Copies of this chain bind each other. A is one copy, B any other.
Amino acid sequence: MKIALIQQANSADIQHNKERLKQQIRKAAELGADLIVLPELHNTLYFCQTEDVHHFDLSETIPGPTTDEFGSLAKETGCVLVLSLFERILPGIYHNTAVVIEHDGNIAGTYRKMHIPDDPGFYEKFYFTPGDKGFDPIDTSVGRLGVMVCWDQWYPEAARLMALKGAEILIYPTAIGYDPRDTHEEQQRQKDAWMTIQRGHAVANGIYTASCNRTGLELDPSGKSDGILFWGSSFIAGPQGELIQQLKEDSEEILIAEIDRGRMEDVRRIWPFFRDRRIDEFEDLCKRSIK
Protein backbone atom coordinates (compact mmCIF):
# COMPACT_ATOMS: atom_id res chain seq x y z
CA MET A 1 0.00 0.00 0.00
CA LYS A 2 1.36 3.39 -1.00
CA ILE A 3 0.53 6.51 0.98
CA ALA A 4 0.98 10.10 -0.21
CA LEU A 5 1.10 13.25 1.92
CA ILE A 6 0.45 16.53 0.13
CA GLN A 7 2.23 19.47 1.73
CA GLN A 8 0.89 22.81 0.53
CA ALA A 9 1.12 26.55 1.28
CA ASN A 10 -2.31 28.20 1.20
CA SER A 11 -3.55 31.64 0.22
CA ALA A 12 -6.83 33.46 0.88
CA ASP A 13 -8.09 32.21 -2.50
CA ILE A 14 -10.03 29.07 -1.54
CA GLN A 15 -10.78 28.05 -5.11
CA HIS A 16 -7.11 28.30 -6.00
CA ASN A 17 -6.09 26.27 -2.92
CA LYS A 18 -8.54 23.52 -3.88
CA GLU A 19 -7.49 23.48 -7.52
CA ARG A 20 -3.86 23.04 -6.55
CA LEU A 21 -4.73 20.27 -4.09
CA LYS A 22 -6.61 18.50 -6.88
CA GLN A 23 -3.62 18.78 -9.20
CA GLN A 24 -1.43 17.26 -6.52
CA ILE A 25 -3.91 14.47 -5.84
CA ARG A 26 -3.91 13.58 -9.53
CA LYS A 27 -0.13 13.66 -9.55
CA ALA A 28 0.08 11.44 -6.43
CA ALA A 29 -2.34 9.00 -8.05
CA GLU A 30 -0.15 8.86 -11.15
CA LEU A 31 2.79 8.08 -8.88
CA GLY A 32 0.91 5.06 -7.58
CA ALA A 33 -0.58 6.33 -4.31
CA ASP A 34 -3.47 4.30 -2.87
CA LEU A 35 -4.13 6.64 0.06
CA ILE A 36 -3.67 10.42 -0.06
CA VAL A 37 -3.63 12.73 2.98
CA LEU A 38 -4.12 16.51 2.93
CA PRO A 39 -3.08 19.00 5.62
CA GLU A 40 -5.42 20.27 8.34
CA LEU A 41 -8.16 22.66 7.13
CA HIS A 42 -6.66 22.48 3.67
CA ASN A 43 -9.18 24.61 1.79
CA THR A 44 -8.45 27.86 3.58
CA LEU A 45 -5.88 29.87 5.41
CA TYR A 46 -5.40 28.75 9.02
CA PHE A 47 -8.14 31.12 10.21
CA CYS A 48 -7.69 30.42 13.94
CA GLN A 49 -4.95 33.04 14.32
CA THR A 50 -7.74 35.37 15.46
CA GLU A 51 -11.22 34.99 16.92
CA ASP A 52 -13.56 36.39 14.26
CA VAL A 53 -17.24 35.44 13.98
CA HIS A 54 -17.14 35.89 10.20
CA HIS A 55 -14.88 32.87 9.89
CA PHE A 56 -17.81 30.60 10.72
CA ASP A 57 -18.87 31.29 7.10
CA LEU A 58 -16.00 28.99 6.10
CA SER A 59 -17.73 25.99 7.67
CA GLU A 60 -19.74 23.46 5.70
CA THR A 61 -21.76 20.31 6.25
CA ILE A 62 -20.48 16.77 5.79
CA PRO A 63 -21.58 15.52 3.31
CA GLY A 64 -21.36 18.86 1.59
CA PRO A 65 -19.69 20.71 -1.26
CA THR A 66 -16.10 19.67 -0.48
CA THR A 67 -16.88 16.02 0.11
CA ASP A 68 -18.83 16.04 -3.18
CA GLU A 69 -15.98 17.67 -5.08
CA PHE A 70 -13.25 15.49 -3.63
CA GLY A 71 -15.52 12.44 -3.72
CA SER A 72 -15.62 12.76 -7.49
CA LEU A 73 -11.85 13.02 -7.54
CA ALA A 74 -11.48 9.92 -5.33
CA LYS A 75 -13.62 8.03 -7.83
CA GLU A 76 -11.71 9.45 -10.80
CA THR A 77 -8.30 8.57 -9.38
CA GLY A 78 -9.26 5.39 -7.52
CA CYS A 79 -7.55 6.68 -4.36
CA VAL A 80 -8.72 6.83 -0.76
CA LEU A 81 -8.54 10.45 0.44
CA VAL A 82 -8.18 11.93 3.93
CA LEU A 83 -9.69 15.43 3.99
CA SER A 84 -9.76 17.94 6.84
CA LEU A 85 -12.76 20.28 7.03
CA PHE A 86 -14.44 22.90 9.20
CA GLU A 87 -17.66 21.01 9.87
CA ARG A 88 -20.93 22.77 10.58
CA ILE A 89 -23.50 20.81 12.60
CA LEU A 90 -25.88 23.53 13.84
CA PRO A 91 -25.50 27.25 14.42
CA GLY A 92 -23.18 27.24 17.45
CA ILE A 93 -21.78 23.74 16.94
CA TYR A 94 -18.80 23.28 14.67
CA HIS A 95 -16.03 20.67 14.58
CA ASN A 96 -12.54 20.30 13.17
CA THR A 97 -13.24 17.12 11.26
CA ALA A 98 -11.23 14.68 9.19
CA VAL A 99 -13.18 12.88 6.46
CA VAL A 100 -12.06 9.66 4.83
CA ILE A 101 -13.37 9.23 1.28
CA GLU A 102 -13.37 5.72 -0.15
CA HIS A 103 -12.06 5.19 -3.69
CA ASP A 104 -15.62 4.87 -4.95
CA GLY A 105 -16.29 8.43 -3.83
CA ASN A 106 -18.37 7.55 -0.77
CA ILE A 107 -17.59 8.73 2.74
CA ALA A 108 -15.93 5.89 4.68
CA GLY A 109 -16.09 7.75 7.98
CA THR A 110 -15.29 10.91 9.86
CA TYR A 111 -13.22 11.80 12.92
CA ARG A 112 -13.92 14.94 14.94
CA LYS A 113 -10.79 16.40 16.53
CA MET A 114 -10.93 15.41 20.18
CA HIS A 115 -8.19 17.59 21.68
CA ILE A 116 -8.68 21.26 20.85
CA PRO A 117 -5.74 23.63 21.42
CA ASP A 118 -5.91 27.19 22.57
CA ASP A 119 -2.78 29.25 22.78
CA PRO A 120 -1.70 32.54 21.24
CA GLY A 121 -2.17 32.26 17.46
CA PHE A 122 -4.11 29.00 17.72
CA TYR A 123 -7.51 30.07 19.09
CA GLU A 124 -9.25 26.83 18.18
CA LYS A 125 -11.42 26.59 21.28
CA PHE A 126 -13.37 29.57 19.90
CA TYR A 127 -14.24 27.74 16.68
CA PHE A 128 -14.38 24.02 17.42
CA THR A 129 -16.47 22.01 19.84
CA PRO A 130 -14.31 19.11 21.08
CA GLY A 131 -15.06 15.92 19.15
CA ASP A 132 -18.00 13.81 20.34
CA LYS A 133 -17.24 10.56 18.55
CA GLY A 134 -14.25 9.24 20.47
CA PHE A 135 -11.13 7.66 19.02
CA ASP A 136 -12.37 5.22 16.39
CA PRO A 137 -10.37 4.03 13.42
CA ILE A 138 -12.03 4.13 10.02
CA ASP A 139 -12.18 1.00 7.86
CA THR A 140 -11.29 1.43 4.21
CA SER A 141 -10.23 -0.68 1.23
CA VAL A 142 -6.60 0.17 2.09
CA GLY A 143 -6.78 -0.77 5.75
CA ARG A 144 -8.02 0.45 9.11
CA LEU A 145 -6.95 4.07 9.46
CA GLY A 146 -6.31 5.75 12.83
CA VAL A 147 -7.11 9.26 11.64
CA MET A 148 -6.74 12.09 14.16
CA VAL A 149 -6.00 15.81 13.79
CA CYS A 150 -3.02 17.97 14.84
CA TRP A 151 -3.20 18.69 18.62
CA ASP A 152 -4.23 15.03 19.11
CA GLN A 153 -0.68 14.15 18.12
CA TRP A 154 0.61 15.27 21.53
CA TYR A 155 -1.51 12.65 23.35
CA PRO A 156 -0.16 9.10 23.74
CA GLU A 157 -3.58 8.01 25.02
CA ALA A 158 -5.20 8.84 21.68
CA ALA A 159 -2.59 6.93 19.69
CA ARG A 160 -2.92 3.95 22.03
CA LEU A 161 -6.70 3.80 21.79
CA MET A 162 -6.53 3.81 18.00
CA ALA A 163 -3.90 1.05 18.04
CA LEU A 164 -5.83 -1.10 20.54
CA LYS A 165 -8.80 -0.85 18.18
CA GLY A 166 -6.73 -2.30 15.38
CA ALA A 167 -5.62 0.81 13.48
CA GLU A 168 -2.85 -0.08 11.03
CA ILE A 169 -1.54 3.44 10.61
CA LEU A 170 -1.89 6.68 12.55
CA ILE A 171 -2.62 9.68 10.31
CA TYR A 172 -2.47 13.31 11.44
CA PRO A 173 -3.50 16.19 9.15
CA THR A 174 -1.70 19.08 10.81
CA ALA A 175 -1.22 22.85 10.83
CA ILE A 176 1.77 23.61 13.02
CA GLY A 177 4.55 26.12 12.67
CA TYR A 178 7.04 28.47 14.19
CA ASP A 179 6.36 31.72 15.93
CA PRO A 180 8.77 33.85 13.85
CA ARG A 181 9.65 35.78 17.02
CA ASP A 182 10.97 32.71 18.82
CA THR A 183 14.70 32.07 18.88
CA HIS A 184 16.13 29.59 16.42
CA GLU A 185 16.91 27.24 19.32
CA GLU A 186 13.34 27.32 20.63
CA GLN A 187 12.01 26.75 17.11
CA GLN A 188 14.23 23.71 16.68
CA ARG A 189 13.23 22.28 20.06
CA GLN A 190 9.57 22.63 19.13
CA LYS A 191 9.91 20.93 15.76
CA ASP A 192 12.04 18.15 17.24
CA ALA A 193 9.49 17.63 20.02
CA TRP A 194 6.72 17.39 17.42
CA MET A 195 8.59 14.71 15.50
CA THR A 196 9.79 12.89 18.60
CA ILE A 197 6.40 12.45 20.19
CA GLN A 198 4.81 11.13 17.01
CA ARG A 199 7.72 8.78 16.38
CA GLY A 200 7.24 7.78 20.03
CA HIS A 201 3.63 6.78 19.29
CA ALA A 202 4.96 4.63 16.45
CA VAL A 203 7.37 2.91 18.86
CA ALA A 204 4.87 2.47 21.70
CA ASN A 205 2.34 0.89 19.40
CA GLY A 206 4.47 -0.77 16.72
CA ILE A 207 2.58 1.17 14.08
CA TYR A 208 3.20 3.40 11.07
CA THR A 209 2.61 7.10 11.71
CA ALA A 210 2.03 9.77 9.07
CA SER A 211 1.85 13.50 9.65
CA CYS A 212 0.83 15.90 6.86
CA ASN A 213 1.53 19.57 7.62
CA ARG A 214 1.02 22.79 5.71
CA THR A 215 3.97 25.01 4.81
CA GLY A 216 4.54 28.74 4.23
CA LEU A 217 4.07 31.92 6.22
CA GLU A 218 0.54 33.06 7.03
CA LEU A 219 0.21 36.57 8.44
CA ASP A 220 -1.76 37.43 11.56
CA PRO A 221 -4.79 39.52 10.48
CA SER A 222 -4.74 41.27 13.87
CA GLY A 223 -1.14 42.35 13.37
CA LYS A 224 -0.44 41.41 16.98
CA SER A 225 2.09 38.74 16.06
CA ASP A 226 4.34 37.99 13.09
CA GLY A 227 1.98 35.21 12.03
CA ILE A 228 2.78 31.51 11.77
CA LEU A 229 5.59 30.08 9.68
CA PHE A 230 4.23 26.58 9.05
CA TRP A 231 7.19 24.26 9.25
CA GLY A 232 6.21 21.64 6.66
CA SER A 233 8.42 18.61 7.42
CA SER A 234 5.55 16.20 6.77
CA PHE A 235 6.83 12.73 7.49
CA ILE A 236 6.14 9.07 7.83
CA ALA A 237 7.69 6.86 10.50
CA GLY A 238 7.78 3.07 10.70
CA PRO A 239 6.73 0.74 13.55
CA GLN A 240 10.07 1.20 15.34
CA GLY A 241 9.72 4.96 15.07
CA GLU A 242 12.28 5.05 12.28
CA LEU A 243 11.96 8.02 9.97
CA ILE A 244 11.07 6.61 6.57
CA GLN A 245 10.74 9.83 4.65
CA GLN A 246 10.34 13.52 5.36
CA LEU A 247 9.62 16.61 3.27
CA LYS A 248 11.40 19.93 3.52
CA GLU A 249 10.22 22.79 5.71
CA ASP A 250 9.50 25.33 3.04
CA SER A 251 8.46 23.62 -0.16
CA GLU A 252 5.19 22.35 -1.59
CA GLU A 253 5.85 18.68 -2.18
CA ILE A 254 4.34 15.22 -2.23
CA LEU A 255 5.72 12.48 0.01
CA ILE A 256 5.12 8.94 -1.24
CA ALA A 257 6.00 5.91 0.87
CA GLU A 258 5.26 2.22 0.97
CA ILE A 259 3.40 0.79 3.98
CA ASP A 260 4.29 -2.82 4.77
CA ARG A 261 1.82 -4.37 7.20
CA GLY A 262 4.07 -7.43 7.54
CA ARG A 263 6.67 -5.21 9.17
CA MET A 264 4.16 -4.11 11.81
CA GLU A 265 3.51 -7.76 12.62
CA ASP A 266 7.26 -8.50 12.84
CA VAL A 267 7.97 -5.56 15.15
CA ARG A 268 5.15 -6.47 17.53
CA ARG A 269 6.55 -10.00 17.77
CA ILE A 270 10.02 -8.88 18.86
CA TRP A 271 8.66 -6.06 21.04
CA PRO A 272 5.51 -7.45 22.69
CA PHE A 273 4.61 -4.27 24.56
CA PHE A 274 0.87 -4.85 24.25
CA ARG A 275 1.16 -8.19 26.08
CA ASP A 276 2.44 -6.62 29.29
CA ARG A 277 0.41 -3.42 29.73
CA ARG A 278 -0.58 -3.08 33.43
CA ILE A 279 -4.25 -2.45 32.70
CA ASP A 280 -5.04 -3.27 36.33
CA GLU A 281 -3.29 -0.02 37.29
CA PHE A 282 -4.37 2.33 34.48
CA GLU A 283 -7.69 3.51 35.89
CA ASP A 284 -6.20 6.79 37.10
CA LEU A 285 -5.48 7.76 33.48
CA CYS A 286 -9.10 8.90 33.46
CA LYS A 287 -8.31 11.57 36.04
CA ARG A 288 -7.25 15.15 35.32
CA SER A 289 -4.54 14.96 37.99
CA ILE A 290 -3.92 12.58 40.85
CA LYS A 291 -3.43 13.82 44.37
List residues of A whose CB falls within 8 A of some B CB: 114-117, 119, 130, 134-135, 151, 154-158, 160-161, 164-166, 189-190, 192-193, 196-197, 199-201, 203-204, 240-242, 270-274, 276-291
Contacts and interface: CB of A to CB of B under 8 A. Distances in A.
A18 to B, nearest CB: 30
A154 B203 contact: yes
A160 B154 CA distance: 12
Nearest to A135: B281
Given A154-B273, A164-B290, A193-B241, 16 more contacts: A116-B276, A119-B272, A134-B281, A161-B282, A161-B284, A166-B291, A192-B241, A193-B242, A196-B203, A197-B200, A200-B200, A200-B204, A279-B285, A279-B287, A280-B286, A285-B286
A240 B190 contact: yes
| Interface SS majority for chain A | helix
Q: How many of these chains are in the complex?
A: 2
Nearest to A199: B196
Nearest to A165: B290
Nearest to A114: B278
A160 B286 CA distance: 11
A31 to B, nearest CB: 26
Contacts of A287: 164, 279
Contacts of A280: 286
A158 B197 contact: no
Q: Which 5 A-B pairs have the closest CB atoms?
A: A200-B200, A156-B156, A197-B203, A193-B203, A189-B240
A116 B277 CA distance: 9
A291 to B, nearest CB: 8
A19 B266 CA distance: 42
B279 A288 contact: yes
B277 A155 contact: yes
B117 A276 contact: yes
